[in-house]
Structure 1
Amino acid sequence: MRTDGHVRSLAGNRRFRQLLAVRLTSQAADGMFQASLALSVFFNPALGEASDPFRYAAAVAILLGPYSLLGPYVGTVLDRFSRRNLIAGANLARALLMIVICLTLATGFNWTWILCAMLVLAANRFVLAGLAAAHPQVVPADDLVTANSLASTLGALAYGLGLATTGVAKLLDSGVSYSMLAFAAGCGYLVSALLVGMSFRRSDLGPAEDEAAPGGLWRGIAATTAGMWAGFKHLGRRRGPALAMAVQGLHRFLYGIVFIIAIALFMGFFWDVESDPTRTTTISWLLVLAVLGNVGVLAAALATPRATRVWGPRNWVIVLMALCALVVAALAGTMRPVMFAVAVLLVNIASQGVKITVDTAIQRGVEDAYRGRVFSVNDTVYNVGYLAGLFAAALVVPANGYAPGTLAVVALAYGLICVGYAYLARDEAPYDSQAWSPAAPEPRPSTST
């Protein structure tokens, strides 16, 4: 089974192209918006010198916390209402919120724009989870792994392009304000909302009428709060996807630790205040890291479909975790900027490769009636693991980021994950890479009150 054949099939799939356009415009806007926020927080002289790892972790947590904790409830909504309408509505709401942010962003730490930013990122939960859950509605089963690879990778590249556009605009001192960049992001959200509204009918992206979870929204929220255990039991009976999700959550925890170390190093240990008082070199390095991270994402997209078909998805996950262990061990032994650039490239190959594998495992192993819920749970584990890693690093990483011992521990942890997963998943691959095997139907959890 050749990957290029799947790419050609997807290229001729009009519905997939339309859904991809919705994703690309939305994620490019995400990149511009989040870069403008990050630069306004970390490089705003009015806020004082940014040299505290806890500040880095707290800034990310304030914005991602609500996004991460909404997971199961977003799934409840995605399994009950038109995903097309939810995606369009979420992006339209974000476009409107950007107007408020544009008017208040220039004032620094203003709780009005912080609250709006939290809502914008929380709404992104509906968009990304809804797009992932909708793939089986527009893509043939045999093309799912390549569709996941293309969509998530091109989406990440669009996000990186948005980040880079904002970073270059500030690096070149173009005079473009953070508010104008946020306004451009709002335009992207509006375009994305219009695209999904005009390209699909209400029911085109699921859930299917005969599989939609019954009951109203509030009844569904109450049932979700009282009976989330049933959703975990559904996933528990599919051990292959569950183990892959666990590996991804642990990886994100360790990734958060490495992220804090890298940011602290470039903001502290690697920064020469005398030769670079305006941090031009720091911003340049961060842009290089962003570009290399997206190159890694693209490389993973090219490698993962073929690797999972040749080696199998289980072995591919093992290889990627082993790669992370070796790369982080090399970082601990060198602690040089160029090595962090190489590490960003390789670790992002691993991170995106695991993500593509997990997404495909959920799509192949979970019924459509549960798929939105499980994707949301997976996203929550993904983000909560990352946030936990950020704060764990904030407790042990010095202000200048020089922590080779911590990196050595992270490398050892990656090695243990690699060995542990190889043993636990020896008979439980994330999915069958050679054949389509739909999820076995099972009764839905009761929604009665």
Structure 2
Amino acid sequence: MQVVAERGEAVRLVRQLARDPSFRRLLLTRFAAQWGDGVYRAGLAGAVLFNPERATDPLAIAGGFAALLLPYSLVGPFAGALLDRWDRRRVLMLANLARVVAIVASVVAVAAGVGGLELFSLALVAEGISRFIGSGLSAALPHVVPGEAVVSGNAVAATLGPAIAVVGGGCAIGLRAVFGSGDVGSAETTAFAIAGAVLSAFFAQRFAKGVLGPTVVDEPANPLVAVARGLADGAKHAWRAPSVSAGFVALFAHRAAYGISLLVSVLLMRNYFADDGVFRAGLPGLGQLVGAAGAGILVAGFFAARLIRRFGRDRTVLAALGLSAVAQGALGVPMLLPLALVASFLIMGTGQVLKLCVDSSVQLDVADEARGRVFALYDTLFNITQVAAVSVAAIFVPENGHSPAVLAAATGLYLVGGAGYLLAWRRRGDSLPQTVAGKRG
């Protein structure tokens, strides 16, 4: 009876959210931005990784990750201070328009055959703005949903958003088949990402000024001092919320393992796997892999809020890490194309559950005036963890990607994440995880 009651409550909350015009508008802002992200990333991946006019090895791919993620990670905390100081509606509008400029520059560079650090630098700007937009949307969510619906609202937004990005990636693969796989065709495909950024800015401007927060500005009058304080403040508020710092440990372990799997998967699709019936290699195969991941994200979004309410965040996090380890070890390590798709479904699904647990911790356990800084810190550490894992793996993985030992090491990272999460309980004085959602929900 309790399970039925919880399910009914979850359905009621989702229906309530669906009737809320502010929540729908925030979803549209997110969906447009993430569709454009999917098109941009798939278009650029096609241009760099699966372009007959260019060549790529493991270290080059790792270098691409570093160029895309690390520089933004250095400025992300300062961006968080801005999200807690400026009207988030205005930030979303201007950031999307700035992203249009970055996409146009990337398109011109791809068409001209520019590669290496120059192209990665342009992609860095576009991706950095995208993450800034994502942090702003996450920080704004509690302003458009009631407190008891934050977990459900976050599950809907953070699950459907990546699924829309997968759709955008699929659109890019289809457009690539029309325009061609060379530099010019890749540029024409990538250009369609502009539409997503423009639509996202349009939906954001329909909010009234100040509606998305911040309600209280806890910042010094000098904006330079406020920005410089971003990283320290984000870390301080995250440490004060044990649920947040513990979640960081688990999620970053998962992200490191995922980064290794992603590097290996790209190389396998490019240089090792061959078409096998309905299963494809090359860029179409990577598209199937992304599709399986998107399906995992959708399924996770459907069940995540219920799992968190039923078992609490602690048990949900530990179960997700355990299932990830099983999926990686039993399905990923054999390195067979069909098994790789199943592993992608499970690993991304469990990763989404972990992300929703951490997102809800930040949204519920961190004060609004610091939420943007914590999300920006979250994004920064997220990126650094992934780049470090990919960079180390690139040293050991062969060019065709076939390295069971590297994937076995990635499997071990999930276990490390679980152990770290268990140790984090000591800060809260818990000897065992809570099993009642109301005690840790």
Query: Secondary structure at 2:210's aligned position in 1?
Result: coil
Cα displacement (A) at 1:98: 2.7
Partner in structure 2 of residue 387 of structure 1: 387
Cα displacement (A) at 1:235: 2.1
C-alpha spacing 1:431/1:185, structure 2 compared with 1 (3 Å)? farther
Partner in structure 2 of residue 84 of structure 1: 89
Paired residue for 1:44, among 51, 55, 61?
51
Q: TM-score, normalised by structure 1?
A: 0.88
In structure 1, distance between residues paired with 2:120 and 2:239 = 38
Paired residue for 1:125, among 131, 136, 141?
131
Query: Secondary structure at 1:425's aligned position in 2?
Result: helix
Equivalent residue runs for 1:341-352 within 5 Å: 341-352=341-352
Quick check: 1:95–1:189 contact (8 Å CA) kept in 2? yes
Alignment size in residue pairs:
426
Partner in structure 2 of residue 418 of structure 1: 418
- Give unmatched runs, 5+ long, in structure 1: 438-449
Partner in structure 2 of residue 25 of structure 1: 32
Partner in structure 1 of residue 438 of structure 2: 434
1:44-63 per-residue CA deviation (whole Å, 9 max, x = no partner) reads: 22223x3x211221122222
Q: TM-score, normalised by structure 2?
A: 0.90
C-alpha spacing 1:216/1:291, structure 2 compared with 1 (3 Å)? same
Partner in structure 1 of residue 163 of structure 2: 157
In structure 1, distance between residues paired with 2:228 and 2:201 = 29
Deviates more, 1:93-102 or 1:174-183: 174-183
Quick check: 1:357–1:430 contact (8 Å CA) kept in 2? no
Give, as a single letter, the amino acid of the residue that structure 1 aligns with 2:138: A
Partner in structure 2 of residue 312 of structure 1: 312
Cα displacement (A) at 1:375: 0.6
Give, as a single letter, the amino acid of the residue that structure 1 aligns with 2:438: Q
1:264 aligns with 2:267: yes
Partner in structure 2 of residue 138 of structure 1: 144
Deviates more, 1:401-410 or 1:32-41: 401-410
Give, as a single letter, the amino acid of the residue that structure 2 aligns with 1:290: V
C-alpha spacing 1:8/1:22, structure 2 compared with 1 (3 Å)? same
1:75 aligns with 2:80: yes
Quick check: 2:64–2:120 contact (8 Å CA) kept in 1? no
Q: CA-atom RMSD, angstroms? A: 2.5
Equivalent residue runs for 1:134-283 within 5 Å: 134-171=140-177, 177-197=185-205, 199-208=206-215, 210-224=216-230, 228-271=231-274, 281-283=281-283
In structure 2, distance between residues paired with 1:230 and 1:78 = 13
In structure 1, distance between residues paired with 2:440 and 2:16 = 17
In structure 1, distance between residues paired with 2:255 and 2:29 = 26
Quick check: 1:324–1:350 contact (8 Å CA) kept in 2? yes
C-alpha spacing 1:436/1:280, structure 2 compared with 1 (3 Å)? closer
Quick check: 2:61–2:263 contact (8 Å CA) kept in 1? yes
Equivalent residue runs for 1:314-329 within 5 Å: 314-329=314-329
- Give unmatched runs, 5+ long, in structure 2: 1-5
1:255-312 per-residue CA deviation (whole Å, 9 max, x = no partner) reads: 111111122222222248xx99xx9732221111011100000011011000111111
In structure 2, distance between residues paired with 1:122 and 1:294 = 22
Cα displacement (A) at 1:429: 6.6
Query: Secondary structure at 1:374's aligned position in 2?
Result: helix
Cα displacement (A) at 1:411: 1.9
In structure 2, distance between residues paired with 1:374 and 1:333 = 35
In structure 2, distance between residues paired with 1:114 and 1:171 = 24
